[in-house]
Amino acid sequence: MRYLDIDRLKNAKVEHDPYEYTIIPNVVGKDTIERVNDSFPPIPSGGSFPLESLTTDMLIKDVIADLDSREFEEVIEEKFGVELAGRPKMYSLRGHTRAKDGQIHTDSKDKIITVLLYLNREWSQKMGRLRILRNSHDLEDYAAEVAPDNGTMLIFKRSETSWHGHPPFAGPRRSLQMNWMVDESKRGFHVIRHKVSAALKKMGA
């Protein structure tokens, strides 16, 4: 792998309280984070943007190539006890967070595994830090909190109790999300939905 620290991934511990997740700091090195930020595409508004809607030549695509590898997939399979080979994958970039984002949710049932890679250089704010939650209604009842910076990666297995969210934050907050999907039709729905959303935002809707 060119950009992901595979040894950090392999050595990371999977937690089981309140659901299956792992937090891995510095999976992507500081120099790479700098280069990713220097070539990050202009995403002036909130919401998720799939890579299919972006045309800028950017280093993040090379990082995604690592994520797209069978080697990375095998590590995730072993850690979470799931079979992912042949499952469709979905990627989306975010450049900004809106005040309404971060509400408590589990992720949709059509997602098997969620990977969040945080691309901000440093994160000194108290707000906007993702929390691994124990329930569906209390942001203060959390098992872990993740600063969205310096190549930190959060991976979790989607379940009916995989509650997560973050205190409201409005402003630049860069991240890459990857999901293994149940099937291709579900992936297609998400890509189409994201494409329509991105097009509307470009038109000022």
DSSP string, 44-61: -SSS-EEGGG-----THH
pLDDT surpassing 90 at residue 171: yes
pLDDT at 55: 61
pLDDT surpassing 60 at residue 135: yes
- Do the domain assignments include residue 102? yes
Q: Are 177 and 47 in contact (CB under 8 A)?
A: no
Would you state the structure tokens that stand for residue 25, as one six-digit string? 């700091």
Domain range for 112 = 6-202
Average pLDDT, the chain: 89
- Do the domain assignments include residue 118? yes
pLDDT at 191: 56
- Do the domain assignments include residue 52? yes
Q: Which contiguous run of DSSP H or E holds residue 154?
A: strand 153-157
Show the beta-strand stretches assigned E in 43-138: 49-50, 89-97, 111-118, 130-133
Burial zone of 183 (CB within 10 Å; 0-12 exposed, 13-18 middle, 19+ buried)? exposed
Give strand pairing partners of 116: 154, 177
- Do the domain assignments include residue 1? no
CA 201/CA 199 separation, integer angstroms: 5
- Between strands 21-24 and 153-157, the pairing is antiparallel
Specify the CATH number for the domain of residue 128.
2.60.120.620
pTM > 0.85: yes or no: yes
- Do the domain assignments include residue 130? yes
Burial zone of 198 (CB within 10 Å; 0-12 exposed, 13-18 middle, 19+ buried)? buried
DSSP-based three-state secondary structure for 27:
coil
pLDDT at 190: 57
Q: Say how many domains are in the chain.
A: 1
pLDDT surpassing 60 at residue 99: yes
Of 29-38, 122-131, 193-202, the one with minimum mean pLDDT is 193-202
- Do the domain assignments include residue 127? yes
- Do the domain assignments include residue 133? yes
